[in-house]
């Protein structure tokens, strides 16, 4: 299983300052790592629903990271 959602912040390099990109990248990696751990420990693996869930959680985490970065800049 390969999740490429962690590449999304790299596409933002041309739009957002580097602080936002760094926070977005960290938020993505933490969200994917925690949700992957949760899926393996509680559910015992991945399903299509969990992959869709990690996409939604990652998008939310990136949005929160961007809002936070805008508030500290």
7-23 in b/e burial notation, b at 16+ Cβ within 10 A? ebbeebeeebeeebbeb
Percent of the chain with pLDDT over 90: 33
Query: What is residue 12's predicted lDDT score, i.e. its pLDDT?
Result: 59
- Interval 27-40: pLDDT, tens: 889 999 999 999 99
Give the closest residue to 65 by CA, choosing from 25, 14, 5: 25
């Amino acid at each position: 299983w390969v999740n490429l959602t962690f590449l999304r912040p790299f596409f933002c390099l041309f739009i957002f300052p580097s602080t936002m990109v760094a926070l977005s990248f960290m938020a993505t990696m933490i969200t994917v790592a925690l949700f992957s751990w949760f899926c393996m420990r509680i559910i015992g693996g991945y399903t299509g629903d969990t992959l869709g869930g990690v996409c939604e959680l990652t998008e939310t985490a990136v949005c929160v990271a961007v809002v936070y970065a805008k508030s500290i800049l």
